[in-house]
Amino acid sequence: MNRAELFDVRDYVAFITGAASGLGLAYAEVMAANGARVTLADSDAPALEKVLTRLRAAGMSVEGEVLDVADSAALRTAIDKTADGNGRLDAVFANVGISSGPGFEVAESGRIEALDPDMLQRVIDINLKASLYTIKFAAPHMKKRRSGSIVVTTSIAGIKAESVVGYPYIATKAAMTNVVRQAAVELAPHNIRVNAIAPGPFYTNIRGGVMFNDPDIVKRFEAMVPMGRCGQTDEIKGLALLLASPAGSYITGTVIPIDGGTTAR
């Protein structure tokens, strides 16, 4: 098998949440640039339309779904529409996620005694429940073809303590880390692979990009990373393509940090 065949996702059908910016957009770009038919789902309609226009102008096959992933019925409809409309569903990226604010090292609001029940519930709804439901709704379509790859964006904050991010974020990412392992074991007999990408600090739009507009917070993140910098979204594309493509055919149940060496410490 040559390089082109190993990473061949031509005519794959992919569904990606949180795809109008950041890591989700990077996933969409690499899949579409390599010939996949990609549905980008996001709650930000203007940003989504702008991205779709740019990708279509570059000759990519993309569709958009304006979607609040906390609405499980709408999420199911969007996944079913993508699968049924294309006759298959090959790759799903459960990517959407929100921040819960700074951790205790950064602000008083990040201390455990300041935990906000409303914030906790909102983060659970987006980071945990929506990702879990994405797997639930994708699996039946993939079972029909006995083939598929599901990739969940977790975080190194789901693997180790990260005092710069809030408790709800850490809790939900840790939960999804183990969901990925369990779903991988269940779905492996159906030739459906389930893996997690666990990013370290990346320049994304989480919290509206506020975190990376604060030089002090950027310095804190950079100090965590042995490579001495935060990641650029293009740097996650290779891993995403690996996990979605034939090159990753024997990879399942893994949680792969991509973090400039942070978890190696």
Q: What is the pLDDT of residues 18-27, one digit of tens each?
A: 999 999 999 9
Looking at residue 129, what DSSP letter applies?
I
Split at pLDDT 50, 70, 90, the class of 74 is very high
Q: Would you call 27 a catalytic residue per the annotation?
A: no
Split at pLDDT 50, 70, 90, the class of 206 is low
Q: What is the pLDDT of residue 108?
A: 87
Split at pLDDT 50, 70, 90, the class of 161 is confident
Catalytic choice (27, 167, 169, 203): 169
Contact between 27 and 240 (Cβ < 8 Å): yes
Contact between 229 and 222 (Cβ < 8 Å): yes
Residue type, 27: Y
Q: What is the pLDDT of residue 163?
A: 84
pLDDT digits (tens, 9 = 90+) for 29-58: 999 999 999 999 999 999 999 999 999 999
For the domain 3-258, what is the CATH code? Answer: 3.40.50.720
Q: What is the pLDDT of residue 162?
A: 86
Return the bridge partners of 150, or none.
92, 194
Q: Does the predicted TM-score (pTM) go above 0.85? A: yes
Three-state secondary structure of 56-118: HHCCCCEEEEECCCCCHHHHHHHHHHHHHHHCCCCEEEECCCCCCCECCCCCHHHCHHHCCHH
135: Cβ–Cβ under 8 A, 6 or more apart, which residues? 92, 94, 150, 152, 179, 183, 194
pLDDT digits (tens, 9 = 90+) for 171-202: 999 999 999 999 999 999 999 999 999 999 99
The number of beta carbons lying within 10 Å of the beta carbon of residue 56 is: 13
Residue 234 and residue 30: Cα distance in Å, rounded? 9
- 218, pLDDT greater than 90: no
Q: What is the pLDDT of residue 138?
A: 98
Single out the residue of 163, 168, 77, 81 nearest to residue 127, CA to CA.
168
What number is the average pLDDT over the span 206-218?
A: 65
Looking at residue 234, what DSSP letter applies?
G
Average pLDDT of the chain is 94
Counting residues of the chain whose pLDDT is more than 90, the rounded percentage is 83
What number is the average pLDDT over the span 225-240?
A: 96
Q: What is the pLDDT of residue 208?
A: 52
- 228, pLDDT greater than 60: yes
- DSSP characters over 236-254: GHHHHHHHHSGGGTT--S-
Per DSSP, the chain holds a count of helices (H) and strands (E) of 9, 7
